[in-house]
Structure 1
Amino acid sequence: MTKKNHFPENMKKSRFESLLDGAILGAANDPVGRYGDAVKEHLYVYTGTDAENHAMDLKKGLRDIGEHKINPEYAEQNLKQQSGFSAELKYQARKNAEYRINGDKRRIVATDLKNSGGYDELFDHYETKDGRIVSMMQMKFVGNDVKSCVDKLMSGDYQKYIDNGADFTLPSDYFQTDENGVPKIQSELDKRIDKLQKQIDSGKCQDDVVKQKSEQIDKLKKLKSRVKDSGISKDDAVFAREHPFLSTAADVVKLSNRAGLEQAKNAAVIGGSVAVIKNICEYYRGNIDGKDAVCDIAKTTGKAAAGGYAVGFFGSALKGTMQNSGKDVLRNLSKTNLPAAMVNMTLEAGKSLHAYLNGTINGAECLERMGQSGFSMVVASMSATVGQVVIPIPIVGAVIGSALGYALSSACYGCLVSSLKDAKLSRENRIRIERECQEHIKFIRQCREELEKYFDDRLNFYKQAFYEGFTEISRACDTGDYDGFIGACNKLNSKMGGKNIQFSNTREFDELMNSDEAFDL
């Protein structure tokens, strides 16, 4: 009997899942960083502008060369020459990209810089390490085939390059291997050396001829040690000249794909390892059977690898773009793990929107989940950078820092949202109470107005009664009118509500005093 699987899909991530997401994001710090640097090299060569160091700006980038006009009368010659310039830039970009990916400190520097003071006729590139020149190169896309290329290089026009120690970077077409697995140009040089050596060894040559042939052999041997594969074919060079943007985009896509594959492996290892541990624990607790455990491991590993590929692919492209941006803030952010986090946030937002459109969650939950993912990813990206500095072991430091940052930020976000919800409820209760209070206040004011009106009316009545009564009493006192005085008092008593009036004049007062009736005060 299959036991109930206790790992249903849940829109709210557990602390365990948060740690896993943070670890995978942290692992992206290294490949995204290296391949992002490589992408930047291609963008720099395309525009001709190095946003990080304008001293390295080129006089012309691929884009500028692609806009050059071609004279119809010399179309083939113009295209060949301009393709050679494009090849020089592609060589620089590709070599530096590989150096950055591999952590190599060497760099290829074009001599045709805006601030270089002019064109160097001997060298097209310098190879530097720690700011020191270690080799000089001259790129030559000459000859229609290997033999004609060697003929050109052996001619007197190229002697100055050899004498000054230049390496020759040649089209990759000439480095295709023959039936023996030897690069064709190396094979051609060896054949010429062997041929000359046999002529010398035959003993049929005079001394001056032997000397001449020996010099040719030395020159051929120097060429053999100095010819280098540029990694660029003639077709690549022409395509870069005619379609500079597409050529650059193709190289960026290739690099991004490599970054994606590398991060997919990292994510699969992390996700798979975590899934194995999790399912083994749940299996022994009796919460899941073996079949479901295997399925969950495969599912978790596959999802981690797919997500890792997307983060590596788009993260590296985004980092390279930000790194060569004209905005300081974007260049500074490219130095963190934020590019990978932004891609991850986009993926998480897509999942949340998909769940919302399917009716799995409502709009508020969708926004809450997107907010949590965004907040957690940003904190995790910054934590990855800090972790890598604190623990300077490739990937490890970033993974630990990012995982902890993601978990802590998720927990903080949960508390923050809960507090905001409580605050929202408190605000709603306050608004409701205030509304009820307003109604009560309105009622109280109405009652008060009515009461004030009542008292005003009554007070006006009593005020008039007292005024009239005291006026009559005063007049009676002034004239000695005792009956008038008693009448005024009785009238005032009556208006004030008094009812027990025992006499209304002096005669009735005398009778009352002489009778046995009680006198009421």
Structure 2
Amino acid sequence: MAVEKVIKSNQEQAVASWVNYLNQLRLDRLVEFMQNQDLNLQDSMADLDKAFSQINDLISSNRGGEKGLHGFIAEAAEVGIGNARENILGNPDKYTWLNDNGVSDLLRDGVELQQKFYQSDLSLRAIAAHLEKYPDYISNGGKYQIPKDQYEKIQELLSISKDEANKMPTSDGTFSLKQWKMVHDFFESREIRISDVEPSKLEYKEVQREQIEITIKNEKHSLKDTDSELRNQARKDATPTLNEAVKVVGVAAALEGGTALTLSIVKKKKEGKNIKDFSSDDWKEIFKDAGVGTVKGGIRGASIYALTNYTATPAAMANAIVTASFGVAEQAHLYRKGELDETQFISNAEMLCLDASISAISSFIGQAVIPIPIVGALIGNTVGTTLYKIAKDGLSDKERELIKSYLDDIETLRANLDRQYQDLVAAIQKEYETYMLILEKLYSVDYMKAFEGSCEMAKLCGVPSEEILDSKESIADYFLS
């Protein structure tokens, strides 16, 4: 019977340890995602800063003149924003700025792109001129890219039939029959389809000299919003779900039901019966035990899953609560039937709770010493419950008290270490938040904010205040004295 109790206890702790493993797996995935997302956000911001620096160089050199400058700005912005949007999702860079005045302006995943940002004729005249110069451009796999607002206007005009166009009002300025004819003539008279043209990520007005800084700032805000959405979704994905709970209930029910079935057959075998000689009553009793075990397993799985995910209860302790609850409920049933008196009921309930507690503590210690999911808990439970059984049955009261004291000391130590760990995590999180705030200042395009961030970073790294050049006077004194 002692061996059967250990087997039963191991099966129960296996369920608890497995639930704990599932919970930990979700948390580990969340932590890993958050760490990777920190790098993704950093990379995407760096892409935009690089693009803005290149654009500033273009503006300083006035490349392309007053009429052509915005075209070069559009190329640099398309690459920076395109790569930033990929990086925020954890994807590698897709865009390369060729910047060689060649047949193509950009390269995206091996596809050559020619950008045309012209205010007139929805940039179609510029495409026509390029096609005349390079008639094989599309057949060789190239594509044309125009401002997003112009592309949307072209799609709208292509969706309007000739009959509809002739009936549409033109006086309010929302529709131009001349523009409609120009768009339809362009695609009907040339070997080019709308699928050979694609929209830029930006509108025409967004790449102008006086607007591009605002465009980049808006894109940074948009990427931060995307980052927040991704993090919120990751947190949501890391929460317990009904589907996972149903899986836990099913596995726990099958495992406990199978264990009960096996132990019931073994019990019959120990009575001297062969399986082939089992009577119908024997099988009824066996299947009854299996059925009860299945129900208990389902309840156990659901209870442990709920306790570990919605309350601050470790898996081993949650299992102890469930096991003790089953045992006390059974003793209460016997007490109500008159098979136990009050003293026996209280004594049996106390021993059941103590047995469950020893199993929980042993499993917890075993998992800590042997950090292999489920295996450590089973080994700890086997050793702990066996030692407890020996102590309970054969050792003196003094020896029992010594073992109990030892287990109590271990539990106290575990609780203290857990508190220290939580305090350390909180301190690290606080320092990390401070570091990120300073880092955001440090890499700001505003040089004064970057200067302040540099001073704050120096203080954070332990540089003495008197050695930090935090004012014009200290800088002048350092370099001129």
Q: TM-score range by the shorter chain?
A: 0.3 to 0.5
Larger Rg: 1
Q: What is the TM-score normalised by the length of structure 1?
A: 0.37
